[in-house]
Structure 1
Amino acid sequence: KRYIAKSNGLYTRFQTTTRLASGIAVTGWSQDEARGLPLGEIFNIIHAETRKPCENPIQKILEQGTIIAKENYPLLIAKNGKDVQIAASGAPIRDREDIIIGVVLVFRDITKQLKTEEELLKIKKLESVGVLAGGIAHDFNNILSGILGNLELASLRIAETDQTAILLTNAKKATLRAARLTEQLLTFSKGGEPVKETTSLEKIIRDSAEFVLHGSNTFCEYSIPEKLWMANVDSGQISQVIQNIILNASHAMPDGGKITVSCNNIEGSAVLIPQLATDSDFIHLTIQDSGTGIPSENIDKIFDPYFSTKQNGSGLGLAISHSVIKKHDGHILVQSEPGKGTTFSIYLPTSVSAEAPVASEQDTGKVARPLRIMVMDDEEILRITTEAQLTQLGHEVILTMDGTETIDKYKELQELGDPVDLLFMDLTIPGGMGGKKLSRKFLSSTRMPRSLYPAVIPIIR
């Protein structure tokens, strides 16, 4: 958009660079309304943070006779009072004698551009926290596994009526709570990548909402089409997202109320969100409450890790939800008005398959004989604990620390005629060969017996 003013600072005319561009779209002033008015009245700009009036660019150009550019992206106050963030520049208009006879002012609406940049910055921030959280969670999870395993072994040696058994049960419950927190932290890291399958999103939504609201005075009203497309998602992670949002909605209505949950199918070409691919179709899920709402100063912080307005809140729920949806190649948005309620909008890609896969039957029968099991883990406490658990079940256990030792030990047992029946592996071994690489070596080696292939079971912690 381009405004032209006379040297006395009065507006003369407006020019556009495209047929669709219009001064009315940004300022709200029409040509006839603006003509003859002081440009400061039409081009009313303020500082984006302090909201104090900015220096009149026209006057500055007239006084200095130089080209200027507003680098701090001020807010333009439109005729209707709406704030529009702009990038602006101006230059003097000179006659043949090099006398300034006017000013040309060029500006464009960059509100959406800055919003997109803020979203990208927020994503990078979450990714950085995810790397840190993932490392902490992995080590913490190893410790918890050792604690929980030993608690279970101790419980087997004590009668259920013993007072000590009650104490051990309470300790196991506390450990499992800590393990769930670790699982949440892992959602930020690469170890929290979703394991997707084609499934019905409606079932996940209903089951998750009813589980969270059980026993409360809040209820859900659903609006879900009969032919809602199938989704390609990690059911557990999406369930966690829905539970987090539904729980927040319930807390926002302490006296109870209605939460409206709706879904609809959206073709990719109809999606107007820059972060989403237009060559995919999406399921649009909205969760709306009529609670207290979110203050405007907090709306941009709700997806930040550890940000919470609740006295006992961890500040992880919505941050995890944001991370999960991003890892599903989707997008999550929030709109809120204090005193009127909050609406979360979630976009998830649909599955290329029209129907959910039929679950295959699995053999859950008990092992008919004791097995020779090799356990590979770099953590001593986990090796010892796993050995004790498997020995308790009657199996023979061989312990190794990394992939190289595992291969050597396996070959040695093969040559002695005592082959391994089952192999448990930690996927990642710092500074050594982990289960992922070792599995590929086993499966690609012609020297390994085919009978071992289905028995290679990586353990992910």
Structure 2
Amino acid sequence: MSGQEKAAQETIGESLSGRDTAKVLHWLLAAALLALFVVCLWLFWDIWAARNDLQAFLRQRALPPAGVSGPLLADMKDLYRQEITLNLVLASLILVMGVLLGGYVSHWVRLSGRMKDIQNIDRYILQSITRGVVTVDERRRITSCNRAFGEILGLSASLCSGRSFSSVFPEESPFRRMVEWALQSPGNMDAEDEIVYTTPEGEEKPLRLTTCALRNEKGRLIGVILLVKDLTPIKALEERLRRQERLAAIGHLTRRILHEVRNPLSAMDLNLQLLQERLEVLGFHDPKAERYLRVVFSELHRLDKVVGDTHHSVTPPPVHLRPVVLQDVLTQVAEGLRASFEKDGHRLVLDLWPEPLEITADSDRLKEVLINLLLNAQDAVAGRTGRVILRCRLEERTNRVVVEVEDNGAGIPWENLSKIFDPFFTTRRRGTGLGLSVVHNIVKQHGGEIHVSSWVNEGTLFAVHLPGPLSSEMPSH
């Protein structure tokens, strides 16, 4: 269990234990004050009864003249002294009771204030934890739930609190299975598991679930803490590291192959040219032979282009960064490809940020990125009424510009998403699999990132994030 998870468990456990202690103290003080009230009430009743007896006695007997002494006068003095004594005792008890009551109220006000402060601190700590945290009592009722829990699972955290756990998660849910295991297993052992969770919006997330038994000061089980960690960033980092390892291996192998292939290609090209010139000198004109030579030249040049693209993908040429207005670059690319889109019956929509976005970039290499992405989008919408959007916007929070290419094409299968930027990976019959690899390298040279989201039979969105205006993130070249 991580340090953050342990801190969450200790914080919640201490909070609940503190509340139990406060409740016990409250009831003890309340019982003591109630006992004092009963005693005072009894004494008051006793004094009231004695006073009534004295008044009845005085009404039944006439008082003796002044100066006369006797048993009656002695009894009256006795009763009077008792009444005064009891009144003093009662007044003292009432005073003591008032002091105690005032002290109790003052203490309870201070204690309530401290409890509210503790609860606010607990709530702040709980809400600031990046992991999802939910507590469930023995009756399987959700007693608390933080904001991260709702954000990770795509649920409303406010609607979860106070509800039965079974009403939020069905019986076959791994969340419910983990909680039941923690409550029913011998010794209430902690457990951990990794799952793939599908949000209500259909997004799949790798999650790590951890359950911890929640006990009070006496060690009695009072509930379970369920911690939920979103592993998406970790999995993405692992995939990025694996991809870098693959690219490093491919790059090393490719450089060796290119070195061995380029020289024969140059020799073949040179000798074909010499052969063509020799045939012309000899006056040899055969249509079939000339057609064969054109095919060989064409395929040789295509192979040379593949070799050049491969070289650029593993050893990209340096970029020449200059201030450019992003909207101008997008407009030039869109106007150059619009006729091709319209010829195929597709729409190319340009959606530009209203204010000029001046960034530092190599405009030619940036155009290469956009042309690659737009041509891929054009292929993706083939066979349907295609609509491709080229847009740019500013993320003011991060001071980065975002260029997006969105289409309503066939989409990319989930299992291919992690491979599309790898060299030589392609699903097209005549594709080389180098276009997106080159795009990735160019974006990286600009200090940016490229992300892709795709939905089968719905479309694909490529988002290029670049350092924005006046940004200091640009790499030096």
Bigger mean CA deviation after superposition, 300-309 or 202-211: 202-211
**8 Å Cα contact 2:391/2:405 also seen in 1:** no
Residue 175 (1) aligns with residue 297 (2)? no
Secondary structure of 2:454's counterpart equals strand
Larger Rg: 2
Please report the TM-score for the alignment, with normalisation by the length of structure 1: 0.58
Label 1:53 to 1:323 Cα distance change in 2 as closer, same or farther (>3 A). Answer: same
Shift of 1:205: 1.9
Which residue does 2:454 correspond to in 1? 336
How many residues in Structure 1 have an aligned counterpart in Structure 2? Answer: 329
Contact 2:144/2:162, CA 8 A, preserved across alignment:
no
Report what 1:192 is aligned to: 316
**Identical residues among aligned pairs (%):** 22
Look up the equivalent residue of 1:323 and give its one-letter code: N
Structure 2, unpaired ranges of 5+: 1-131, 472-477
Indicate whether 1:6 and 2:100 are aligned.
no
Instruction: Render the CA deviation track for 1:164-216: whole Å, top value 9, x for unaligned.
Output: 66654443332211110111211331x22333243662366247635865964
* Alpha carbons 2:209, 2:226 under 8 Å: kept: yes
Matched, 1:70 2:192: yes
Q: Aligned with 2:300: secondary structure?
A: helix
**Larger helix proportion of the pair:** 2
Alignment match of 1:243 (pick from 347, 367, 371): 371
One-letter code of the match for 1:70?
A: E
Secondary structure of 2:358's partner? Answer: coil
Q: How far is 1:14 from its partner?
A: 0.9
Structure 1: stretches of 5+ with no match in the other structure: 47-51, 272-277, 354-461
Matches within 5 A, 1:56-455: 56-62=177-183, 63-65=185-187, 67-72=189-194, 74-76=195-197, 84-159=205-280, 162-163=284-285, 167-189=292-314, 191-198=315-322, 201-202=329-330, 205-206=333-334, 209=337, 216-218=344-346, 220-224=348-352, 227-229=356-358, 231-233=360-362, 235=364, 237-255=365-383, 257-264=385-392, 266=394, 269-271=396-398, 281-282=400-401, 284-349=402-467
Structure 1 residues 131 and 95, CA gap change in structure 2 (3 angstroms): same
| TM-score after normalising by structure 2 | 0.57
Q: Which residue of the partner structure matches residue 42 of structure 2?
A: none
Cα distance in 2 between the residues matched to 1:306 and 1:80: 33
Alpha-carbon distance between aligned partners in 2 of 1:239 and 1:138, rounded to the nearest angstrom:
29
**Aligned amino acid, residue 134 of structure 2:** Y
- Partner amino acid for 2:162? R
Q: Secondary structure at the match of 1:303?
A: coil
Cα deviation for residue 32 of structure 1 reads 6.2
Q: CA RMSD in A?
A: 3.9
**Shift, 1:260, TM fit:** 3.4
CA distance in 2, matches of 1:90, 1:310: 47
Aligned-pair CA distance for 1:107: 2.7
SS at match of 1:188: helix
The structure with more strand, counted as a fraction of residues: 1
Give the Cα–Cα distance (whole angstroms) in 2 for the partners of residues 202 and 31 of structure 1. Answer: 44
8 A contact 2:133–2:225 mirrored in 1: yes
- CA distance in structure 1 between the partners assigned to 2:191 and 2:253 by the alignment: 40
Counterpart position of 1:25: 151
